[in-house]
């Protein structure tokens, strides 16, 4: 017994101290170790705990420790010591070369996940937007063709009984992996509601623009009529002036929208004469729905048009339009800019 107390216990203490020193030394070296190469994508799935994360880091050879101690245990220990073991956020992360384990923990608890981007272009109709979403590999596809036909009823919105056209704000949206097509559309729709509400609160009163939806419809027509920033407010003023005197809007983009797949690049006389809800050469007032998704600039123009009493405009061929107050002035502009000065070709009076 004396032998045990005299020699064995001191030996155990020496070995224990040696082990403790070894572990401490390995832990300190581990803390300052760096990733040897960039990792484009490391995913932490929902419900993962620190043990799962550490195991996956070791399994994918992101964490390497050339010692008897597996790196996953060192990573778990580091997380517990720094009290970050319960703050890990799910998502997909990009790991930079040279990152230390501490920096990895800071990244995983920050939630700064990889962000993908999808753009809704200005002037696209809902059918085109659907195709963009369907073909986007970064979005999780959950919607069927039938779902898209009744998409407004699936959104959290007071406009559930409206058609989808125009209700999604064009922009470039960033989002993490796992975002669904419906979540993407909800976000775009919310952005449109916010944009409309912002301008509606400070609006001027115009005849024919009685609701935010009316303004959205007008903005969509403005969007399709011009992309020139200097002309948007003037185009808006032309249409508002026409609404004010119950004059038909007579705008080609509405006719084209009403033609649908029949439109092959040009409008014929019979198309202008065919009575449809979207033929503004046959019916007064706004169209039943927007004809495209309008930009923020077009929306602003619909609420804040330029000043003036112009009633007509014609494209000049340089991206801008010529605006006229009278039909006679408009006729001269059409002959000049569209008919190369050949008055005999003018058919507007027929």
Which domains does the chain show, CATH number per domain?
38-113 (3.30.1490.480), 117-309 (no CATH)
In this prediction, the residues of the chain whose per-residue pLDDT falls under 70 are: 1-27, 66-68, 348-350
Mean pLDDT across the chain, nearest whole number? 90
Structure tokens at 34: 């760096």
Residue 66 has what pLDDT? 66
Tell me the C-alpha distance between 321 and 301, whole Å: 16
Tell me the C-alpha distance between 115 and 326, whole Å: 53
Tell me the C-alpha distance between 104 and 99, whole Å: 7
Tell me the C-alpha distance between 134 and 128, whole Å: 10
Structure tokens at 49: 């705990």
- Cβ neighbours around 118 below 10 Å, total: 19
3-state secondary structure 73-137: HHHHHHHHHCCCCCCCCCEEEEECCCCCHHHHHHHHHHCCCCEEEEECCCCCCHHHHHHHHHCCC
pTM of the shown model = 0.84
pLDDT in tens, 279-327: 999 999 999 999 999 999 999 999 999 999 999 999 998 889 999 999 9
Question: Buried b vs exposed e over 192-206: b needs ≥16 C-beta within 10 Å?
Answer: bbebbeebeeeeeeb
């Amino acid at each position: 017994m004396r032998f045990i107390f005299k020699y064995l216990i001191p030996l155990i203490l020496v070995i224990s101290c040696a082990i403790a020193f070894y572990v401490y030394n390995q832990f300190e070296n581990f803390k300052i170790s760096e990733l040897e190469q960039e990792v484009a994508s490391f995913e932490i799935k929902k419900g993962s705990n620190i043990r799962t994360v550490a195991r996956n880091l070791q399994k994918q050879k992101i964490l390497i420790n050339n010692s008897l101690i597996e790196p996953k245990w060192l990573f778990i220990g580091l997380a517990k010591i720094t009290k970050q073991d319960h703050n890990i956020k799910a998502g997909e992360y990009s790991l930079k070369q040279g990152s230390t384990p501490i920096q990895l923990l800071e990244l995983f608890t920050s939630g700064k996940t990889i962000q993908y981007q999808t753009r809704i272009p200005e002037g696209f109709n809902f059918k085109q937007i659907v195709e963009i979403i369907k073909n986007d590999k970064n979005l999780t596809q959950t919607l069927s063709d039938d779902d898209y036909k009744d998409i407004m009823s699936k959104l959290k919105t007071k406009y559930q009984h409206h058609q989808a056209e125009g209700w999604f704000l064009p922009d470039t949206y960033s989002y993490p992996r796992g975002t669904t097509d419906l979540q993407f559309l909800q976000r775009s729709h919310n952005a449109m509601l916010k944009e409309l509400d912002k301008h509606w609160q400070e609006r001027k009163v115009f005849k024919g623009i009685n609701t935010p939806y009316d303004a959205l419809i007008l903005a969509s027509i403005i969007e399709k009529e011009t992309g020139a920033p200097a002309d948007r407010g003037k185009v808006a003023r032309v249409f508002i002036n026409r609404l004010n005197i119950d004059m038909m809007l007579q705008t080609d983009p509405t006719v084209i929208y009403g033609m649908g797949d029949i439109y092959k690049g040009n409008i014929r006389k019979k198309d202008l004469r065919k009575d449809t809800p979207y033929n503004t050469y046959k019916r007064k007032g706004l169209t039943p729905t927007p004809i495209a998704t309008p930009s923020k600039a077009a929306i602003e123009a619909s609420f804040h048009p330029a000043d003036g009493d112009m009633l007509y405009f014609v494209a000049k061929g340089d991206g801008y339009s010529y605006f006229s107050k009278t039909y006679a002035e408009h006729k001269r502009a059409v002959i000049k800019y569209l008919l190369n000065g050949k008055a005999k070709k003018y058919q507007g009076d027929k």
